[in-house]
Structure 1
Amino acid sequence: MSTNSDNDKIFQEVQKFVKNYDLNKDGSVTSFDIYRSFLKKMDGDIFKASQAAGVLCSTVDMDHDGKFTYQEIAKYCADEAKKNVEQNAEIAALADVEAMLLRFDKDKDKKLTKTEFVEYFKGNGHTPYSDRDQVLKIIDLDKDGCVSANELQEWFKKRRIDYARMVSARGPNC
């Protein structure tokens, strides 16, 4: 679901994109503008500029006409924002898992038994006792009765992404 706040952010990102790549200041961006911009940023290295421009152009210019429409740039900016949220969630999830394992993985086998998992919830007061088994079943993807570091990471990552989306959907002043 897209909100006004999301649309404002995307509009700002589109403006930044155009400002960065519209070297002749005509208000539009073409593949040649992209190439020239990279050439300038890469100290005249034609090969690197060509490669970088090619990657960006193939990603943004969906109809491959050499011109970047507002819709193409907006989609690119939205996709990049989504990637950033996911990458940040991945990094934060790794930290969450390390902290959780350090504190609750008593036998240091890089997974939590049901007993260790319950200790986590007791210590954090998150979930009523009756729901802990249900949460364990959700997180324990391979159904071996333990929660591995990878399973924990996926769970934390999903929770962080869901939270970021919820906050974004609220918009400003919430």
Structure 2
Amino acid sequence: MILFENQLYIEFPSKRDYIDFVSNKVVSAVNTIAQEVHSQNITDDALISQDLNIFGFGMNLSIDEALKNAIVHGNKADPRKKVALSYYINSERLEIIVRDEGIGFDHKNYKANMEVDAEAGRGLLLINNFMDEIKFNEPGNEIKMIKYLGKSKTAREDF
């Protein structure tokens, strides 16, 4: 079995124009790494030839939503403020951290204030449904999204 790890850091101005570019690049990079390792770790030729999209729509949507929240809510769309995204991937999990320069939000009570049809908060609801874990730093201006490799999830039961 091949064990691996990779990491990346990206920082950019708070402009919505960058969201698709950054999100697509991160998903593409981690899928490429995961596919390469997956193909080396299996012996069945039929499985090796499969084009696996290990991190697909849910991952892309989660990154998009976290970046939008950082730009719009955290940095108030101020292009002088930066958004930072970093990821770390190894044989077991993918961690994506998005941080803004804002003052943060009340992350301890965000679940209680969420409604599916609310104008705000849907992004966190979606992230929570697609990721295995989400964590916030103390001020609430950083989110860590964790997805375990080989574990599928359709919806969170605790949400």
Q: TM-score, normalised by structure 2?
A: 0.26
> Greater strand percent: which structure?
2
> Greater helix percent: which structure?
1
Q: TM-score, normalised by structure 1?
A: 0.24
Decide which structure has the larger Cα Rg and report it.
1
